[in-house]
Chains A and B, each alone.
Chain A
Amino acid sequence: MRLFLLWLLVRPALGVEWTTHALRLTGESDKVHDEAVAALRMWPNLEGTLKTALIGDKKYLALDVIAALSLQSMMADLFAQSENDENGSIYLTINALLNSDNQTQIAQLYLDRLRHHKGMSMPSQVVLLDTLGRMGISLSDKDLTPYLESSSFEVRSAALYYLRYQVLKFGMSARLPLIKNFLIQEPYQIRLQALYLILDLPSKLKTQAQPLLANCKADRHREVQGLCRSLAGEAK
């Protein structure tokens, strides 16, 4: 015990940084991971260190530590930093801290951010749509429309993925017609994504979706046309 305490005290002077342990949180065995978590839990003033790191070049390691240690106390910092999240990584860390106590607060934050999305990075929009989809939080048609019609293929793909959750997991079959527009959009990958969603529908909804297939039976892309005709019950 004394040796361990001594080790804790001398390690900064020996050049062992918190980042050394943070790097061991991924890609290592469970044992190494658990040792890294234990060492970080004992780290003096870890939260202060992480707050500084969040605005520097150790940001991603800091986010990993916050997620691995489930540091709820960092939530306010993450909320503040997420406003300028360039690649969605801060939102993903917030997601890692999601629990029954903070779920409502986080969902409300995400809803607010999506309603006033101007300036929000494309990857962040995708993360928020994914998260609300998985949580079963319903965006109004008005709030969802900018994402269904986004100029970004990635955002539209995420909006379609959101619809998949709404229709398949949360029984919101009233939103099925929204898939129709995806079947005439570019690029071809989004038309395929929409068709695969229809493929996964239960048989009753699949029957309801038949009118949506009218335009894709003669699609210019061979795979899209083939799957469309197959879903429509026609030979390829």
Chain B
Amino acid sequence: MKASLVAILIIIVGTLCIYFWYWRNASAPPARGPDWEISVPPSPQTALSINDNDQATSACYQAYARFYSEPSVEIDVAFGYKDARPARFVGDRYEKFALVNYLLQPCAPDHYACGFTRDLEDGDLFSKLILGPDGRVRTVKLRVTHSSVGPDDDENRQDSFQKWQSKYAQTAFLEGLKGAEAVFYNGHSRDGGGPDFGPPRLRWDKHPNYHWYAKNAPGLKRLLDAIGGKQIQLKLLGLYSCVSSRLFSEEIISTKKALALITSQELLYYTDALNNLMGSLSAVLGLWCEPAFLSAIKAEKSGGTSRLQGFFNAVSPEKSP
């Protein structure tokens, strides 16, 4: 008797569930395009659209006046070593290539992370001309580096070129922290031990040795050393890696109060990391004001887990520690 009642209950609940499931799917909006291109907010306000009379008091205008204070501006995108340990796959090379493929495409209307020209002798250096907030032309130099030489971590560890590539990617990142206006890191947090550009230190079971990374924090130490200098140009640092808000924000801000930060408050799915990075790049190149910038880096699909702090109210570099 009791078993029959449970069976009837299950059938009723199941029928209701199936009904709700069909109802919900039938009323779902049509699917959007699946690619990594950031969706442009409708008519984003930009620093270029701010009246002369309002520029002195506009946080948006002032943010970009600081950012584009020089005729030539450098932005670095650094892909860390994105292994999938304990599996052997490594993905940053493919992600970087997909991004580069997009950067080199002509721009559709209202798109900005595109239309770049590649340097002939340096394959990781791209440039394009944009208008600064004052309406004058700026040259944007964009450096995009990756960390792995192939898609197989086991193979990479036997490849001499991997040692060079890791050192090169890390050096580009650290030099960018000193000399670029913005640096965007897309890679592993290594539980506080990142940013990381080389094959990971592994445990016996082929998982990354998170205990070691958390205890020694090699990547964070190097980062803090780099931004701790007085002559750095850096105004914006984006860390598109898991839980970067909790793992990195506090120490970075306490080292460099004037630095604006983009971080992730939660685990970050790889396409969301790319979307947020593309959103940041689009916002900075398009001079988008805060609402559009926030929309771009939230990357709606991730449910708005990113955070932007200090960009639209950063203290002037002179007051920086």
Q: Give every chain B residue within 8 A of A61 (Cβ-Cβ).
A: 269
Residue on A nearest B300 in the bound complex, by CB: A57
Q: Give every chain B residue within 8 A of A58 (Cβ-Cβ).
A: 31, 34
Given A28-B267, A88-B98, also A13-B161 (CB < 8 A): no
Flag whether B151 is at the interface (Cβ < 8 A). yes
Flag whether A12 is at the interface (Cβ < 8 A). yes
The prevalent SS among residues of A at the interface is helix
Stretch at the interface among B9-17, B54-62, B279-287: B9-17
Give A193 to B93 CA distance when docked, in angstroms: 14
Q: Give every chain B residue within 8 A of A127 (Cβ-Cβ).
A: 94
Q: Which residues 31-60 of A sit at the B interface, judged by CB distance below 8 A?
A: 55-60
Q: Give every chain A residue within 8 A of B121 (Cβ-Cβ).
A: 186-188, 221
Flag whether B122 is at the interface (Cβ < 8 A). yes
Q: Give every chain B residue within 8 A of A107 (Cβ-Cβ).
A: none
Flag whether B36 is at the interface (Cβ < 8 A). yes
Q: Which residues 170-211 of A sit at the B interface, judged by CB distance below 8 A?
A: 186-190, 192-193, 196-197, 199-200
Q: Give every chain B residue within 8 A of A26 (Cβ-Cβ).
A: 84, 269-270
Which residue among B6, B34, B267, B269 has the maximum number of chain A CB atoms within 10 Å of its CB? B34
Flag whether B53 is at the interface (Cβ < 8 A). no
Flag whether B216 is at the interface (Cβ < 8 A). no
- The digit string for B239-272, where 1 denotes a CB below 8 A from any CB of A, is 0001000000000000000000000000111110
**Does B6 contact A10, Cβ atoms closer than 8 Å?**
no
Give A56 to B33 CA distance when docked, in angstroms: 6
Give A24 to B255 CA distance when docked, in angstroms: 34
- The digit string for B91-119, where 1 denotes a CB below 8 A from any CB of A, is 10110011011000000000000000011
Q: How extensive is the interface on chain B, given as a class?
A: 35 or more
Q: Which residues 127-173 of B sit at the A interface, judged by CB distance below 8 A?
A: 149-152, 155, 158-161, 164
Q: Give every chain A residue within 8 A of B158 (Cβ-Cβ).
A: 200
Give A86 to B151 CA distance when docked, in angstroms: 18
**Does A192 contact B164, Cβ atoms closer than 8 Å?**
yes
Flag whether A71 is at the interface (Cβ < 8 A). no
Flag whether B35 is at the interface (Cβ < 8 A). yes
**Does A2 contact B6, Cβ atoms closer than 8 Å?**
yes
Q: Give every chain B residue within 8 A of A189 (Cβ-Cβ).
A: 122-124
CB of B250, distance to nearest CB on chain A (Å): 22
Q: Which residues 111-127 of A sit at the B interface, judged by CB distance below 8 A?
A: 121-123, 126-127
Q: Give every chain A residue within 8 A of B164 (Cβ-Cβ).
A: 192, 196
Give A86 to B21 CA distance when docked, in angstroms: 32
Flag whether B301 is at the interface (Cβ < 8 A). yes
**Does B150 contact A55, Cβ atoms closer than 8 Å?**
no
Give A130 to B119 CA distance when docked, in angstroms: 25
Give A121 to B222 CA distance when docked, in angstroms: 37
Give A218 to B281 CA distance when docked, in angstroms: 38
Flag whether A92 is at the interface (Cβ < 8 A). yes
Q: Give every chain A residue within 8 A of B16 (Cβ-Cβ).
A: 13
Given A56-B34, A130-B151, A196-B160, also A12-B21 (CB < 8 A): yes
- The digit string for A4-36, where 1 denotes a CB below 8 A from any CB of B, is 011001111100000000010011100000000
Q: Give every chain A residue within 8 A of B14 (Cβ-Cβ).
A: 9
Given A27-B242, A28-B267, A130-B150, also A60-B34 (CB < 8 A): yes
**Does A57 contact B33, Cβ atoms closer than 8 Å?**
yes
Q: Give every chain B residue within 8 A of A28 (Cβ-Cβ).
A: 267
Residue on A nearest B302 in the bound complex, by CB: A23
- The digit string for B41-85, where 1 denotes a CB below 8 A from any CB of A, is 000000000000000000000000000000000000000000010
Which residue among B14, B94, B267 has the maximum number of chain A CB atoms within 10 Å of its CB? B94
**Does B160 contact A199, Cβ atoms closer than 8 Å?**
yes
**Does B31 contact A55, Cβ atoms closer than 8 Å?**
yes
Residue on A nearest B18 in the bound complex, by CB: A12
Q: Which residues 60-106 of A sit at the B interface, judged by CB distance below 8 A?
A: 60-61, 86-89, 92
**Does B97 contact A161, Cβ atoms closer than 8 Å?**
no
Residue on A nearest B91 in the bound complex, by CB: A92
Flag whether A134 is at the interface (Cβ < 8 A). yes
Which B residues have a C-beta under 8 Å from some C-beta of A?
Answer: 6, 9-10, 13-14, 16-17, 20-21, 24, 31-36, 84, 89, 91, 93-94, 97-98, 100-101, 118-124, 149-152, 155, 158-161, 164, 242, 267-271, 301
Pick 17 A–B contacts, CB within 8 A, sort by A: A2-B10, A10-B17, A26-B270, A28-B267, A56-B32, A56-B34, A57-B31, A57-B34, A86-B98, A87-B35, A134-B155, A187-B120, A188-B122, A189-B123, A193-B149, A196-B161, A200-B160
Q: Which 6 A-B pairs have the closest CB atoms?
A: A56-B31, A187-B123, A196-B161, A87-B98, A59-B34, A9-B14
Known: A12-B21, A87-B98, A196-B159. 18 other contacts (CB 8 A): A5-B10, A9-B14, A12-B17, A56-B31, A60-B271, A87-B101, A88-B98, A121-B101, A122-B97, A123-B101, A134-B152, A153-B118, A154-B97, A164-B159, A187-B121, A193-B161, A196-B164, A197-B161
